[in-house]
Amino acid sequence: MTNLKVLVSSNDFPDSGLQILREHFTVVQSPYSHFGEEGATQNKEELLKLIPGSSALVWVTHHPLTKELLDKAGPQLKIVATASAGYNHANVEELKARGIKLSNTPNVLSSAVAEIAVSLMLATARRFTENLDQVRRGEWEAGFVKVLGQDIRGSTVGVIGLGGIGQAVVKRLAGFEVAKFLYTGHREKPEAKALGAEFVNLDDLLTKSDFILLAVPLTSETRHMINSTTLGKMKSNAILINVGRGDLVDQEALYDALKSKKIYAAGLDVTTPEPLPKDHKLLTLPNIFVLPHIGSATVRTRNDMAVLTSNNVVNALTGKPLITPILE
Ligand code: DGY
């Protein structure tokens, strides 16, 4: 064990990851979680106290990594290891300017997130929100014609971003008799052929798909890529699924499109903000199904993410290449 200090930024980092860190380093952990407004404020104050002298930061959720925090950490900081695939909160330009490494946790969470994407497709296509509401009210619609949904069978599924998660969704849908998989992105993916997915431009995907899956990282280019213009190109039976980041979607425009039935439904695992306030107008709509960002939230996946995060820290502080580098 060395005296190098590793700060773990919240109290909910799995033991599987902590054990690895403790074998090598002096581990300091915030007693708070990032979650909720109160948790985030308390935690920020605590982190400012704990961060000086850290050689590594294990960044457990999506709390912004500010210049103030980096300044407080000091010049010995070598690596930020974020326990997430997304790293839009990690202040990449600032880390780069300071020569600090950055790692994330891609791949290990693809199947768990893909399962949530498929769940959202089913929940929205079969109108779980309205149907569950009937059950809760004890007022089931009688008869043959119930709240009728749409089939995945025979549909066109368009994937925006055929990376690890997008590919995992296509694989999981193999038994659903999907008629066509389309995808779009910066370039064609070699994996697409085996998946039977056809590369198209964004407009083609928007105008032809029955399901549109957002599985891209949040960047300045993708922020609000779903807006009134792109929603306006979708079919009236289109279902939008977002397992990326809330800010990929202009939520005002989404609200209008759902309210006016310009599109059929939306299933969101990510929103802006998180948590979405319980009186948010999106939650008044019958044709939306919202989950509290649980894409990677299974015991196995969280453990895999924690182990990968910690091993990245070990590598960075022992002079080995990062396993999953963003900045090296
Ligand atoms: C990620 O890893 O980016 C997922 O959204 C879970 O946090």
Q: Is 151 in the same domain as 275?
A: yes
Q: Which pLDDT does position 176 carry in this prediction?
A: 98
CA nearest to 308, candidates 52, 103, 89, 123: 103
Residue range 103-123: mean pLDDT, rounded: 98
Q: Is 204 in the same domain as 245?
A: yes
Q: Which of 113, 216, 268 gets mutated to test ligand 1 (max ligand atoms within 8 A of its CB)?
A: 113
State the residue for tokens 């010049």: 75
Residue range 55-78: mean pLDDT, rounded: 94
Does 63 have pLDDT greater than 90? no
Q: Is 43 in the same domain as 188?
A: no
- Our count of domains for the chain comes to 2
C-beta 184 within 6 A of ligand 1: no
Q: pTM, whole model, 2 decimals? A: 0.95
Q: Is 179 in the same domain as 238?
A: yes
Q: Is 263 in the same domain as 172?
A: yes
State what percent of residues in the chain have pLDDT above 70. 98
ipTM over 0.90: yes
Q: Is 41 in the same domain as 21?
A: yes
Q: Is 72 in the same domain as 140?
A: no
Residue range 47-54: mean pLDDT, rounded: 96
Q: Omega into 275 within 30° of 0, i.e. cis?
A: yes
Query: Which residues share a beta bridge with 41?
Result: none
Q: Which has the higher per-residue pLDDT, 239 or 10? A: 239
87 C-alpha to ligand 1 centroid (Å): 8
Does 107 have pLDDT greater than 90? yes
Burial (0-12, 13-18, 19+ Cβ within 10 Å), 325: middle
Q: Which pLDDT does position 4 carry in this prediction?
A: 97
- Domain range for residue 318? 5-108+298-327
Q: Is 318 in the same domain as 180?
A: no
Residue range 104-119: mean pLDDT, rounded: 98
Task: Verify whether residue 293 is a known catalytic residue.
Answer: yes
C-beta 84 within 6 A of ligand 1: yes
Q: Is 51 in the same domain as 140?
A: no
pLDDT digits (tens, 9 = 90+) for 164-203: 999 999 999 999 999 999 999 999 999 999 999 999 999 9
C-beta 295 within 6 A of ligand 1: yes
Residue 32 belongs to domain with CATH number: 3.40.50.720
Q: Is 131 in the same domain as 145?
A: yes
51 C-alpha to ligand 1 centroid (Å): 23
Q: Which pLDDT does position 35 carry in this prediction?
A: 60
C-beta 61 within 6 A of ligand 1: no
Using CA atoms, how far residue 312 sits from 98, 179, 232, in Å, is: 19, 41, 43
* Mean pLDDT estimate for the chain: 95
Residues contacting residue 258 through CB under 8 Å, at least 6 positions apart? 265, 266, 282, 285, 287, 288
Q: How far apart are the first and last CA of the chain?
A: 24
Does 71 have pLDDT greater than 90? yes
> In angstroms, rounded to a whole number, what is the distance separating the alpha carbons of residues 228 and 88?
24
Q: Is 43 in the same domain as 54?
A: yes
pLDDT digits (tens, 9 = 90+) for 223-272: 999 999 999 999 999 999 999 999 999 999 999 999 999 999 999 999 99
Q: Is 54 in the same domain as 141?
A: no
